[in-house]
Structure formats: structure tokens, C-alpha cells
Chain A
């Protein structure tokens, strides 16, 4: 086994995903077979190889620090599941 059910449960917690009992079973089996497949990368010696995060050489892109137009409060809140005049509302955090 590459991954246990308990580990899958832990990862789900990290990912903020509530998984049902059947989902935990299915994902444990499927992740196990996918992780067994990716093990093949260990056949390659990668000592001294520089990791690639982007395929195209990148430099930091700078621009002048000047304020620009923004979309505004009304448009920003338009898709919010719950909001007051100018705030996103969430369930109470502190008891």
C-alpha cells in the first residue's frame, strides 16, 4: 500500500474537502494505484538536475506602482453567497 485510508482522511482535511465514507474507500484505492504508477519516476537518477517550474524562461515582471481602476464594491460583491453593504459575510468564527 502506497497510501492508507487514514492518510487519505488527513489529506482531505488539509484540502478542506468533506469526503463521505464510500468516497474515502474509493479514493484510497484509486490514489494507491496512481501513486504506485508514479513510482516509476524513481527509476530515473535526477541528482543534480535543476527542477523546472516554468517551461519558458521568466523574469520578474515589474510595472510602475500606480493605482488603476478597480471593479468597485458592488461588482465585487455581486457573486457573493452572502454579503452586507460592503463586506463578504461568513459564519461566525469566534464563539
Chain B
């Protein structure tokens, strides 16, 4: 087995037993990136020099007997994470040359544990998209089929894992941006409960929905990564001061007696037949493992996409007001006066999808429309949240598809934004409700594209989600498949 093929926990065992050094592992990963990233384009920036220096430091730490689960592990970050001294673009021209003066909290936590950062990953511009096609730096490709999208917005984070270009990665999820690409690339992606992981140093899209999470080869790796980055942070007043459990301690507890709900509204006519078959097989497997399966109802599901595109765009229009060409980022050289400088810098710096969302959000918040659009959406959000809380009175988990179809061809949905938005129909409600969800590999389509299943947990119920995911993974082989590149 190649070094780049090892999972995080496997590589950790080898580092601990001194069968391998972090420098060797890091060099193997950098060589892998060099070999395949020309095809996949998962990376926006690779940082070989820093990575090798960090790997040497990790090896010294290991030699001194001070090894953490992440020490010496080559990881990569979605380019939305602010990294001190390393260019951070968020997939946008407007931040093409932005070099942050500080590390975000999740990044700092990984570094403290001795993780080696090999680079920054491709994404939809400002995390706005479901296909990675809106990246200013060019589309990322799906390693399973280079003509298909890897999903988005954390497409680079998912593709890098599937192509074995990083041992583990971090992504962010506002409406499905971790889970949907994880599903399309056949990897594990966990969106924690809102407030579980600090958002400090994560470039903001929609602040009441954004959440940081791990994207990994298997469920155990996700448990390790979540344990590393979770927890309260004084720098993010929305991070919650709830103790972080030992996610590994409960991982093997199984699903016997667990109640798993199937939301009727997620198993609709028109669900892709391959997706439907994978869900049926997963449900049968959980039954055989002793879980109790029942139908539940989330009656406001059909309103989630409309609610999301009002709330997320409204928050985005406010968050992205900071890109004005004054303190950092692109400034137009063709402007006459201050206001013209703002308007031209933003026009030149932002891509189509970002402009469209800023426009929609500005409209939804503008005088005369605020009550009809933004306030209305916030009220419907309450109803969607209540759906989940009610369902969780009778079940421990929900099992659903992640996306209505497997990955699609690059370019296929670009002309019709609404069709693109509807591909997030099963992931968006989880963000609106603020709870946690994980995508795990659960099948392959006839065309050879991965299919994920989503486990949705109660707020701060990550332990149960991970435990149920692990039980599934132990009985299946989907997560061990590797794309031929």
C-alpha cells in the first residue's frame, strides 16, 4: 500500500511505531499532488516548503515522545480558512493576493497538535455553489470521472481525499457544502451542529448557517478531526460552551436499539434509481444490525430551498460588503472617485454567482421588501426547525439521501441557477435547523459515480451520528474504493 493511501488513523499508527516519519509521509503526499493534481485541480495553493518544515518539527516532537493523533499528518484546508502567511483566496479574484496576518481557530488547533498543512483547496467562490465551477481559479474535477463536478462548495476538500492528495481535510458547510461533495466523491463529510466549531478565521458567507467540519477517508478519521477542532472559542461568540465528548470512545457502540427515522418527504418520486437502491440497502443493513426503523414527517421540507436562498443571500450581501477595495483585496484601477471605486472593484473582483447572491440578498433586505422576503423566511425557518425537534422526540437519527442524484457533468446546470440550488434540497434543512449531519459512502451508480447517505443527528448529537456511521462502514466496503486516476 502506498503511503498516500493510508487513512489518518493508519498513518498515525505508523508514525507512532516509527515505521514512517512525517517527512516521508509529507513528501509522498506532495509527490502525489504533483502527479495527479494537474488532472483533478483540487488545490489552489500547495505549500511544500512550509509543509516540510512542519513535518520536520513533527518528527522532532514524535522523537520526544509527544505524539498527538494529528502529529505529522498531512492535511489540507479549504481556501476559506484564513492562514497566517499563506495566501487565502476563498476561490475569488477579489482575494487573489490576500495574505492573512493570522490563523483562524480551527487552523491554529490543527497546528498545535502538530498537523502538517500541505496546501489550500479549491472551492466555489465564497462557498457559493454546489459544483466548484464558480472558482475563479478554474473548476475542480471529480476524481471518479474527470468530466463530472466534485460537488461544492468544498469540492477541492472532497476531491483531494478521493484522489489521495491529502490524508484529511477541513471544509465548511452552509447549505450542504461538506456533505454534498463528500457524497459525490465517495468520502466521509461531517457538518457539526451550529456552534460546535469556532468560525473565527473562516471567511463568512452566511453567518447563521456556516459551520466548519472534517472531510475524511472514513468515519474514525472524521471523529478524530472533529475532536481536534471542536470546542468553545472566546473569539467566536456563537461557538457554544458545551464539553467536547471523546468521539472515539463511543464509536464502536453499535446501533442495536437505536431508532432511525426515514423522513417521508425525502423519499420522493423522481429520486434517482441508483440513489434509491443505495438507501434501501442501507436501511436493510441497519435493520439487520438491530436498529429500529420507522417513518417520520418533516412537513416543511419543500420550503427549505426557498427559505435558504433568502436567508443565506441576505446574510451574504451584508458579509460581503467588506470587500470594497480599501483595506485588502482587489482595487479597480479605472475608478473615478470613492463610490465608483467600490462599485468597480466589486464588479471586477466578484464572479457571476457571487454577484447574483449579493443582488438577491440586497433585494430581500431592501426597504419595502424586508418583511415579505427576509422576515417571512426567518419565520419559515422556525417551522423547519420545529419539524426536526418534533421528529427527534421519537427517533435518535434520521437516514436520508445526501443529494437527489449522483454527480453531474461540468457545465450541465450552469445556465440555470435554480436547478443548481435544488440539488441541495436534502442538505439545506439541516443547516436551517442548526443540527448535525454526516455523509458516508453508501453505493455506486451504474455509471460508476459514488452515492452517499446522510445521517442527521440531534443538536450536539455528533457522537450518535459517528457511531451509526461507523457501524455501517464496518459492514460495507464503499469507503475503501479508490478512483482510478
The residues of A with any CB-CB pair to B shorter than 8 Å are 3, 7-8, 11-12, 14-19, 23, 27, 30-31, 33-35, 37-38, 40-42, 44, 46, 49-56, 58, 60-61, 63, 71, 75-76, 78-82, 88, 90-93
Give a binary string over B447-485; 1 marks a CB under 8 Å from any A CB, 0 the rest.
000000000000100000000000000000000000000
Nearest chain B residue, comparing its CB with the CB of A58: B238
Question: Which of B325, B347, B363, B378 contacts A19 (CB under 8 A)?
Answer: B347
The residues of B with any CB-CB pair to A shorter than 8 Å are 97-99, 101-102, 193-195, 208, 234, 237-238, 240, 300, 302-303, 305-307, 309-310, 317, 321, 324-331, 335-344, 346-347, 350, 355-356, 358-360, 362-363, 366, 373, 375-383, 385, 417-418, 421, 432-435, 459
Residues on B with C-beta less than 8 A from A81 are 325-326, 328-331
B418 to chain A: closest CB distance in Å? 6
Asked whether, in the complex, the Cβ of A27 is within 8 Å of the Cβ of B356, the reply is yes
Question: Which of A14, A55, A56 contacts B432 (CB under 8 A)?
Answer: A55
Nearest chain A residue, comparing its CB with the CB of B350: A17
Question: Which of B326, B344, B434 contacts A88 (CB under 8 A)?
Answer: B326
Asked whether, in the complex, the Cβ of A44 is within 8 Å of the Cβ of B325, the reply is no
Chain B interface helix/strand/loop/mixed: helix
Residues on A with C-beta less than 8 A from B378 are 51-53
Residues on B with C-beta less than 8 A from A71 are 101-102
Asked whether, in the complex, the Cβ of A8 is within 8 Å of the Cβ of B359, the reply is yes
Nearest chain B residue, comparing its CB with the CB of A78: B101
Contacts A16-B342, A34-B360, A90-B341 given: A56-B237 contact, CB under 8 Å? no
Asked whether, in the complex, the Cβ of A42 is within 8 Å of the Cβ of B434, the reply is no
Asked whether, in the complex, the Cβ of B208 is within 8 Å of the Cβ of A38, the reply is no
Residues on B with C-beta less than 8 A from A61 are 237
Asked whether, in the complex, the Cβ of A44 is within 8 Å of the Cβ of B343, the reply is no
Contacts A38-B306, A55-B208, A56-B195 given: A75-B434 contact, CB under 8 Å? no
Asked whether, in the complex, the Cβ of A17 is within 8 Å of the Cβ of B338, the reply is no
Residues on B with C-beta less than 8 A from A76 are 101, 327
Q: How far is the CA of A36 from the CA of B428 in the complex (A)?
A: 19
Residues on A with C-beta less than 8 A from B335 are 91
Most buried by A among B98, B350, B382: B382
Residues on B with C-beta less than 8 A from A88 are 326-327
Q: How far is the CA of A42 from the CA of B101 in the complex (A)?
A: 46
A15 to chain B: closest CB distance in Å? 4
Question: Which of B99, B331, B360 contacts A31 (CB under 8 A)?
Answer: B360
Q: How far is the CA of A88 from the CA of B102 in the complex (A)?
A: 19
Question: Which of A56, A79, A90 contacts B238 (CB under 8 A)?
Answer: A56
Asked whether, in the complex, the Cβ of A51 is within 8 Å of the Cβ of B418, the reply is no
Asked whether, in the complex, the Cβ of B310 is within 8 Å of the Cβ of A17, the reply is no
Question: Which of A30, A40, A46, A91 contacts B338 (CB under 8 A)?
Answer: A91
Given contacts A17-B355, A88-B326, A91-B338, 15 further A-B contacts (CB under 8 A): A12-B359, A16-B324, A17-B358, A30-B417, A31-B360, A31-B363, A40-B303, A40-B306, A41-B376, A44-B380, A46-B379, A51-B382, A55-B432, A81-B330, A90-B341
Q: How far is the CA of A54 from the CA of B358 in the complex (A)?
A: 21
Nearest chain B residue, comparing its CB with the CB of A76: B101
Most buried by A among B339, B379, B382, B383: B379
Most buried by B among A34, A60, A78, A79: A34
Contacts A17-B355, A51-B379, A79-B328 given: A91-B435 contact, CB under 8 Å? no
Asked whether, in the complex, the Cβ of A41 is within 8 Å of the Cβ of B380, the reply is yes
Residues on B with C-beta less than 8 A from A7 are 363
Contacts A34-B309, A42-B376 given: A79-B329 contact, CB under 8 Å? yes
Contacts A15-B317, A41-B307, A55-B432 given: A46-B376 contact, CB under 8 Å? yes
